[in-house]
Amino acid sequence: MPRPQERPDEPVFPLLGRDPMAGILIRLWVRLREYRGEDPAVLEDALRIAAEAERYAMGIGKGLQVAAAVESLKRMAVGR
């Protein structure tokens, strides 16, 4: 069932808290939306969810994978 802000036929890609990449992907989305002038309240909420996703993944034993996701993004940023 779509959420109120979604259109019934709109594609959706959910990120689950158990995915070690979820937090970093949300943080990347925040950075990109920041440049587009997104509502700061929306960005704050997204950052809160990113932190919750990271805590969740670490809590189920995926801390090393969360750290690896962060390192992968850093390497991509410098082109390695």
Count of domains observed in the chain: 1
pLDDT digit string (tens) for 9-22? 989 899 999 999 99
pLDDT digit string (tens) for 63-78? 999 999 889 888 887 7
* 5 within some domain: no
* 14 within some domain: no
Number of CB atoms found within 10 A of residue 74's CB:
11
pTM: 0.83
* 70 within some domain: yes
Show the domain range for 56: 22-77
pLDDT digit string (tens) for 23-61? 999 999 999 999 999 999 999 999 999 999 999 999 999
Nearest Cα residue to 47 out of 25, 65, 68: 25
